[in-house]
Structure 1
Amino acid sequence: MQALKPRNRTGGALRMPRTVAALMLREMATSYGRSPGGYLWAIAEPAAALALLSVIFSTAFAAPSVGVNFPLFYATGYLPFMLFNDVGNKMATSIRFSKQLLAYPVVTFLDALVARFLLNLLTQATVMIIVFTAILMIFDTRAVLHMPSILASVAMAAGLGLGVGTLNCYLMTAFPAWERSWQIATRPLFLISGIFFIYDDIPSPVREILWYNPLMHVVGMMRRGFYGFYHANYVSPLYVTCIALATLALGLLLLRRHQRALLQD
């Protein structure tokens, strides 16, 4: 009786990291390779846009609702919002972007999702570090940093983008009209997610409604991390986590069940 040969698990264990790394490099080359500065432009563009908008809005909002420096107040709202928005939008088009590669058995839709999530999370995290460092060095913000709250806000925004983006990856691939509908439906989020105001300044009837916007919690947690006196008691990480996990689970279930039909369309 022949002895059974041990299975080579090393190759299987390394397959996904190698595939994800290759997909990330491919996206960096295809998406940013032709632009001036290459991938660096993906970091410089949002940082420059935030700096310009800070100058423009600071003329209209001289005194922020929290703190003494408007650029910091605006950045603590804008950057976590953009983290969610960029991760969610990029993940929503993961299958469409890597559709040709998904025809190969070695590449799965999960690889495409993970690659896009990691690349855009790293990009937005780098933008955050650069912008916040510049603001703290240039201005007298009197900020008292609380890193656990800052990291919690980043995790909440990333998790929400991961979940919503995964669900939208199925919906936008299966129903192309959903992409335009989603863009129209979510445009008001920029105005109702606490970027220009704080939760406590909203009148009571509207405040209870806006509590259900998970981005209000993400922004509130970020501001808690920069303003030691701002407690943001309304923030519920559990609520945001439940939404992120529910949308992620539903999106993965739909993608796995309908992946063949999605790739054949």
Structure 2
Amino acid sequence: MVLLDGWLVQKRVIWSLFLRELKTRFGKFRLGYLWALIDPLAQIGFFYLIFGFIMHRLMPEISFIVFLANGIFPFMLFSDIAARSVTAIEANQGLLSYRPVRPIDTLLSRTFLESLIILVTYAITMIFLHWMGEIFTLVRFLEVAMIFILVILFSFGLGCIFMVVGNAMPESQKLIPILLRPLYFMSGIMYSPSIVPQEYRWAIIWNPLIHAFELLRHYEVPSYQLIPEISLTYLVISSVVVLSVGLLVYKGREPAMMTS
């Protein structure tokens, strides 16, 4: 009974923080929630105009716009959760004086919000692309959902670490987002790793995100061939390890964050 009461309290806390984050994120913009769709579509359109013709010849088995959508959306899911976690405590500092509110609740609410935003906009975009005649399939819907869940778990685990670091060293709140930017170009968002010479693939293949994006593309367009280095097992292990480390780091630092 005590566990159930504790769960209900935490559920209400996270929901309240979620609504607060939602209002803070979109309330001040005139176009409101449309910005959640405009940002990824602008990136897709930009890269499609620049690289579309070349990539169509290099990857004839998959539409380049479908290729981009299955890189940009999951990367935004990762970056929004991980980067915004750095300031999760600072943005909700006043609320931590209330006993039921814990630092991890602020990260959970942000994770739920970012996941909801990206998944809804991704679904809208893919429906629109299908209506426009782009070819892909959702026969392996469960595998696609699993990849997104793994990206969320990986991002949340990394977010726990970033939240702790951001609280302990405030200057890192500026540094961490900068350090994340190279991943945009190292995650295979606008290119297939198959075009990278095999002797240089080690430089990008360590990145779990590139495994997630490539698997998404393969599940939606089975004719899209994966390079041998892409592994679902590696993605699963990476996500579980990063999540476990993140929770352990958070647990060890939680008392200090509550009193800071």
- How big is the shift at 1:51? 4.5
Q: Which moved more, 1:127-136 or 1:225-234?
A: 225-234
1-structure distance, mates of 2:103, 2:257: 10
Corresponding position: 1:250 with 2:245:
yes
In the alignment, structure 2 segments of 5+ residues that lack a partner are none
Compare 24-33 and 235-244 and name the one that shifted more. Answer: 235-244
What is the CA distance between 1:85 and its match in structure 2?
A: 1.0
In structure 2, the partner of 1:144 is 137
Distance in 1, Cα, partners of 2:95 & 2:232: 37
Equivalent residue for 1:112, pick from 103, 106, 111? 106
> How far apart are the structure 2 equivalents of 1:59 and 1:197?
11
- 1:70 Cα deviation (Å)? 2.1
TM-score, length-scaled by structure 2: 0.88
Cα-to-partner distance string for 1:198-227 (whole Å, 9 max, x where unaligned): 122210111133211111101111111221
1:169 shift after superposition: 0.7
Q: Deviations over 1:49-86 (max 9, x none)?
A: 23532443345635152535321121122111111111
1:130 equivalenced with 2:130 (yes/no): no
Unaligned runs of 5+ in 1: 1-6
Tell me how far apart the structure 2 counterparts of residues 213 and 31 of structure 1 sit (CA, whole Å).
29
Aligned length: 257
Whether the 8 Å CA contact 2:160–2:249 is kept in 1: the answer is no
The Cα shift of 1:131 comes to 1.2
**Pair 1:95–1:89, CA change in 2 (3 A):** same
1:45 maps to amino acid: I
Q: Which structure has the greater CA radius of gyration?
A: 1
The aligned counterpart of 1:3 is none
TM-score w.r.t. structure 1 length? 0.86
Distance across 1 between alignment mates of 2:123 and 2:185? 24
> What is residue 36 of structure 2 aligned with on the other side?
43
Instruction: Give identity over the alignment, percent.
Output: 23
Letter of the 2:242 partner, please give it: T
1:84 correspondence with 2:69:
no
Looking at structure 1, the residues matched to 61 and 38 of structure 2 have their Cα atoms a distance apart, in angstroms, of 26
Distance 1:133 1:174 in 2: 43
Q: SS in structure 1 opposite 2:29?
A: coil
Name the Cα RMSD after superposition.
Answer: 2.3
Residues 126-163 of structure 1 deviation map (CA, whole Å, 9 limit, x = unaligned): 1110111111211x333233323322321222122111
